[in-house]
Amino acid sequence: MRKPTIAAAALVAIVLAGCGSGSSTSAPAAVSVPKDFFGVDPGVATDAQDFQQMPNAGVETVRTGLSWSSVQPEQGPLNWRVADVRVAQLAGNGMEFLPVLASTPAWIATPPATPPIGSQAIEAWTQFLKAAVARYGPGGTFWQPAEGGGPSPFHSLCHCDADPMPISSWQVWNEPTLSHYFNVSSPVQSYAKLLQVSHDAITSVDPKAQIVLAGVPGFGTKGSENAWQFLGELFRTLGNGDDFDVVALHPYARSTSQLELEIKKVRAVMNENGDGAKPLWITELGWGSGPPDRFGFNKGTQRQAQLLTQAYSLLLRDRASWHLDRVYWFEWRDPPPSSDLSCSFCGSAGLLQNDRKPKPAYDAFTQFTGGS
């Protein structure tokens, strides 16, 4: 366990005394958090300079994709070149990598949001997963010295003497309640099958690996389920929670009171199904600094920072009762203005502007992490 800075612990008490979240506002005398509590999902605008800067901000863990379609764009051998660079950048800068396993290659199915469903597709998917764990997991070939005593692939790429950071947690897909991320007619049934085969493949190589459920938006968009509805149906389909170790949530909200409601509803489903002791990870959370609009997630520059402060204060205060072990802010840096965006606030949710100039939200974030 680690503790936030004294300033951050005091900030929890000060902010919650006046934020009106709808529950008791007294903060605990001391606030402790697990290692790797403070993370970011970098979004699309990320390079080596970003990964070097993140530790200065107090970022301990980074959630981003490990794309099957990138590793195996054509049927045949797996090509880890691009993935190796990303893993080396993160480990070389002392940050844990939470990979999101997704993106089906075109030789299996199109679009990439179509999960592997048929027997041949599932076989190819499981081989990809086993190879990923064998390469990047504990004892993986990426971390081992070359034959003859040469440097490991990791040290050859990072040009550093940093300790290896094997991947121990694997997130299976992203937002399966949304059709543009999970292109199927029966999301719960299809995801349950994908989860089961993924669990078996990953743990066959690393029995101690943590399997993380796909993060799901709290309140669904038009035509999609809420997170607690999806989770309840998933429990009923699976029969139990044996195929996963962590529940993940993307509680995007217009206010911190709505954020709190989303977490409580998901926790209630976990408790009802006998999985109340399992940890909850928030693998995406954020607001945009763009001008307020009809969708309610762009808040303006100052209000983005205020909501970050209120949200993290709430999460730290109730972390223990919610078994909340990680929070990933979405996103690290704003994408270029010409980017193809997948949500109304995705262009301005960064802690940094695209030119790397810190926003007020960056300063608010480092108040909690102890970064600079």
pLDDT tens-digit readout, 324-349: 999 999 999 999 988 888 899 999 99
Helices (H), 169-226: 187-205
Of 130, 61, 68, give the one whose Cα is nearest residue 281.
Answer: 61
Amino acid at position 189, single letter: Q
C-alpha to C-alpha distance for 242 and 263, rounded to whole angstroms: 22
Any domain includes 28 = yes
C-alpha to C-alpha distance for 60 and 116, rounded to whole angstroms: 32
pLDDT in the model for residue 313? 98
C-alpha to C-alpha distance for 123 and 324, rounded to whole angstroms: 34
pLDDT in the model for residue 51? 97
Q: Is the pLDDT of residue 224 over 90?
A: no
pLDDT in the model for residue 6? 42
Q: Which residues contact 26 (CB under 8 A, 6 or more apart)?
A: 13, 16, 17
Any domain includes 1 = no
CATH number, domain containing residue 74: 3.20.20.80
> What are the beta bridge partners of residue 267?
none
Any domain includes 13 = yes
C-alpha to C-alpha distance for 119 and 180, rounded to whole angstroms: 23
In this predicted model, what pLDDT tens digit does every residue of 144-200 receive, in sequence order? Answer: 999 888 999 999 999 999 999 999 999 999 999 999 999 999 999 999 999 999 999
C-alpha to C-alpha distance for 131 and 145, rounded to whole angstroms: 18
Least trusted range by pLDDT, from 1-15, 146-160, 229-243? 1-15
pLDDT in the model for residue 11? 58
pLDDT in the model for residue 174? 98
Q: Is the pLDDT of residue 132 over 70?
A: yes
pLDDT in the model for residue 233? 98
pLDDT in the model for residue 149? 86
Of 249, 235, 246, give the one whose Cα is nearest residue 278.
Answer: 246
Higher pLDDT, 30 or 282: 282
Any domain includes 344 = yes
Amino acid at position 142, single letter: F
Average pLDDT of the segment spanning 125-134: 99
For residue 63, report the phi and psi dihedrals to the nearest 5 degrees.
-105, 120
In this predicted model, what pLDDT tens digit does every residue of 25-70 receive, in sequence order? Answer: 333 334 578 889 999 999 887 899 999 999 999 999 999 999 999 9
pLDDT in the model for residue 309? 98
Q: Is the pLDDT of residue 249 over 60?
A: yes
Please classify residue 152 by burial: count the beta carbons closer than 10 Å to its beta carbon, then call 0-12 exposed, 13-18 middle and 19+ buried.
middle
**How many structural domains compose the chain?**
1
In this predicted model, what pLDDT tens digit does every residue of 77-108 receive, in sequence order? Answer: 999 999 999 999 999 999 999 999 999 999 99
Average pLDDT of the segment spanning 220-242: 93
Banded model confidence at residue 14, pLDDT cuts 50, 70, 90: low
Angle in degrees, CA 198, 187, 102, rounded to 5: 40
C-alpha to C-alpha distance for 4 and 8, rounded to whole angstroms: 6
Average pLDDT of the segment spanning 282-304: 97
Least trusted range by pLDDT, from 9-23, 197-211, 339-353? 9-23
Any domain includes 133 = yes
Higher pLDDT, 179 or 16: 179
The overall average pLDDT reported for the chain is 93
Tell me 161's DSSP state.
-
Provide the domain limits for residue 122.
6-369
Angle in degrees, CA 216, 221, 226, rounded to 5: 45
Is the distance from CB of 280 to CB of 266 less than 8 angstroms?
yes
Any domain includes 204 = yes
Kindly report the number of other CB atoms within 10 A of residue 161's CB atom. Answer: 8
C-alpha to C-alpha distance for 61 and 276, rounded to whole angstroms: 24
Is the distance from CB of 265 to CB of 256 less than 8 angstroms?
no
Any domain includes 51 = yes
pLDDT in the model for residue 293? 93
Q: Give the alpha-carbon dihedral of 48, 51, 53, 58, to 10 degrees.
A: 180
The whole-model pTM stands at 0.93
Please classify residue 351 by burial: count the beta carbons closer than 10 Å to its beta carbon, then call 0-12 exposed, 13-18 middle and 19+ buried.
buried
Any domain includes 109 = yes
In this predicted model, what pLDDT tens digit does every residue of 256-272 receive, in sequence order? Answer: 999 999 999 999 999 99
| Residue owning tokens 């981003």 | 64
